[in-house]
Amino acid sequence: MGTKEEAQGTLSSTDFGVAASAFILNWNTVCSSFPPWTWVLSHHQVEGYLSLENVLLSSTQEEHSELSFPEAGKHSHQEDPIDVDDATLVHTNPCKVHYYDLHIIYCNSYRVPVLYFRAYDSDGEPLEFDEIEKDLPAYSKKALSDSKWTFITQEEHPYLNRPWYKLHPCGTSEWMKLLFHADDALAKTGVAIELYLVAWLSVVGHVVGLRIPFEMMKQL
């Protein structure tokens, strides 16, 4: 059942851990053919974050781009970039292949999850923001033009101490609260903690072209 925190669109750090565990199990069951979300512990082995890496984005001249997944074990970019065997990639000109790493990290000040991400080209070289901007769906580009550095900012990763991009959490609790109250059933019973991240990522994921599988959405 829902908690007072969730009624306000927020989560406690403890509930974030519960939600993360449930999300990992749910995603890896429903999306078994995709790379898995994993829980990465901090150096102190207390806190941690969700990680999905090696996500492929093929950007063409079309207006919309979506994240997809290469075969497991191929072209994985770790924290230190590695060379990629270009011969194994399938190119369709004028298509450019970019890889994204996505991390979901709990923000103590806003009491909500925050999506951090970074991008590489097929050679493992980090992308500049103007290149990432070209990958974004049209609706994200519009939001970006309206509020560039409050929508997406570049900050130090809380655990890796390296610059990553993030979607600013300001306003997250408000639209999460509206999302839950817009559904009569959820407004009466509250959303289960275990489903919080599914609901959250169904909105946030669209910003970078990541869509939640329909099978997971049916649980809301």
Catalytic residues: 170
Alpha helices in the chain (DSSP H): 4-7, 13-30, 129-135, 138-146, 148-151, 172-181, 184-189, 196-207, 214-217
Quote the CA–CA distance of 136 and 31 in Å, as a whole number.
Answer: 23
Alpha helices in 60-147 (DSSP H): 129-135, 138-146
